[in-house]
Amino acid sequence: MLIKHLNKNTVKRIYMKQHLFGTNGIRSIVGQAPLTFINLPLLGLAIGQSIINHYGKNAQVLLAHDTRISCSFIKSALGCGLSLHQLTIYDANVLPTPAGCRLVQQNQDFKTGIIITASHNPYYDNGIKIIDENGVKIDEKEETEIEHLFEKIKNSPISYDTLGSIHYWPYAADRYIATICSLFPAQFLDGITIALDCANGATSKLAPHIFRKLGATVIPIHNAPDGININEQCGTQHTQDLVNTVLAHNADIGFAFDGDGDRLVIITKDGIKKDGDDMLALLASNPPYDQETTIIGTIMSNQGLEQWLASHKKKLIRCAVGEPAVWKHLKKHNLTLGGEPSGHIIMTNYLSSSDAIYTALRLLGIIITTNNWKLETFTHYPQINLNIPVTVKNPLDKPPLKNIIEAAQTELPDGRLIIRYSGTEPLLRVMVEGQDQKKVNQVAQTVAHKLKKELSTSGE
C-alpha cells in the first residue's frame, strides 16, 4: 500500500518543525511529512512566496514530474498552494529532470522549475527539486528561505485575493527533443544498435525517440511505466537486464537511466559495466575537455581515476557526494567538467546539471571517433559498496560507531574507507577501496557487520 495509515508518530512528524531539504531537494515516503495532504498545499504556498520574493508577481513557472503513481496527488496538492499566488504555471507533465533544467535555462520567461521526482528511489518515495532561472537547483540559502516561509505560513491566515493560473504545456517534450538533437550531426548513430534501459521512468518515451531520430537501431527495455514499476529491478541501480539485452541482441552498447534521467550507467558490447568515473576519463581525454587541467569528482571517485588523471597532468578535486556539491565546486573553481561514480556527469558548457541522455550522446561521439567500444580508460582500484538499512542515524564521529570505523581503517592503511548516511534514503553507505581485492572484501564485510549490529541494537 502506497500511503500507510497514520500512527501517532507519523502525525507528530506532520506538524513538527523540520528540515525540508536533503542533499538533492525534498524527498520522503509519500504520506509522511512533508509529502502529505496537510503539508503540500502549505509547501506550495511557501515555494510560491519565495518565487514572488525573487522574481515578482506574474513569474512563469515550469512544473513537471516523473512516472510515479503519487505524482498526480503531489502535483494537485502542491498546485493548490502555488496557485494562491499570482504566478503562471505551465504543466509539462512527464519530463526528465534535466529536460526541465534545459527548458528553464533556454526560456527567459521561466523563472523557476519545479520537478516532482525521487530520482533513483523506489515508487513509494517521491520528492521535489526546485530549479532557478539558470536551470540550476536552488542553493542552501534559498532552501532555508522556503523552510522559514513554510513554518511561518503554517500559523498565518491564507489570502485568496491574488490567484494564479495553471496551463497544460503539451509541447515541452518536443522542445527538448528538438534542442538536444540539434546539438549532434543528423543520423550520426546510423548503423549502431543501442540497448536502452529507461527504468520505467521519465525517459521511457523520450530516450528511444531521440536515439532513433539520430539514426540508431534502438532496443528499449523497462520503458512501460505503470506508476509503480519505476526503478524496480531496472535502471542504473539494477543493470543485469540491460547486460542480458546487450549480449542477447549483440548490441554495440547499452545505456541505463534512472527514474528522472539524470544518472547514467553504460554496458559495453561485452557486457561490462562502466560508471561515472569511466565517463569522466573518456570526456577528460577528448575535446574540448582535454584542455582542462582539473576536474571535479567526489569522495567516492575511484583512486584509479585520480592516478590516471595525474599521469595525464590533470588534477582531481574531490567534493561531497551529490550533484549539487559537484556543481558548487565547478562554479567555485570555474571548471567545466565534473561528476561522480553514480553517473551524474555535469558539462557546464551544456548545462549546470547532469543530463544522462546528453551525456550518452556525447560519449557516443567520442566512442565512434576513437573506435573505443570497450570504453577502455583506467584500472580501477578494487572497491566494495554496501548499503545498510537504518531506522536511526546515530553520529558516526562518536563512540561506539567511531571506534568501529577507526579500527577498520587501521586494517587498510593504504586504502580508503568512506562511511556515510545517505541524504536521500534510510541507508548507511559503506565504501571500502584498496589495492588488494581480498583484503577489501574482508574489511568491508567485517565493518558492515559490526555497524549493522550496533545500529540495530541502538534502534530498538
Q: Which of the residues are catalytic?
A: 119
257 in Cβ contact with 220 (< 8 Å)? no
Query: Quick one: which of 19, 20, 23 has its CA closest to 299?
Result: 23
262 in Cβ contact with 97 (< 8 Å)? yes
Phi, psi of 276 (to 5 degrees): -60, -30
Residues composing the chain:
460
How many CA atoms does the CB half-sphere of 248 hold within 13 Å? 9
Residues 6+ apart with CB under 8 A from 180: 102, 210, 357, 358, 361
Q: Which three cell numbers stand for residue 295?
A: 576536474
Q: Which three cell numbers stand for residue 79?
A: 498546485
Angle formed at CA 123 by CA 121 and CA 127, multiple of 5 degrees = 65
Residue 91: C-alpha distances to residues 72, 115, 260, 307 (Å): 11, 10, 16, 46
Q: Which three cell numbers stand for residue 348?
A: 557546464
C-alpha to C-alpha distance for 194 and 180, rounded to whole angstroms: 18
Query: Quick one: which of 327, 427, 311, 423 has its CA closest to 377?
Result: 311
C-alpha to C-alpha distance for 258 and 120, rounded to whole angstroms: 5
Distance in angstroms between the alpha carbons of the first and the last residue of the chain: 25
Q: Which three cell numbers stand for residue 213?
A: 531520430
Q: What is the per-residue DSSP string for 281-332?
A: HHHHTSTTGGG-SEEEEETTS-HHHHHHHHHTT-EEEEE-SSHHHHHHHHHH
C-alpha to C-alpha distance for 308 and 362, rounded to whole angstroms: 21
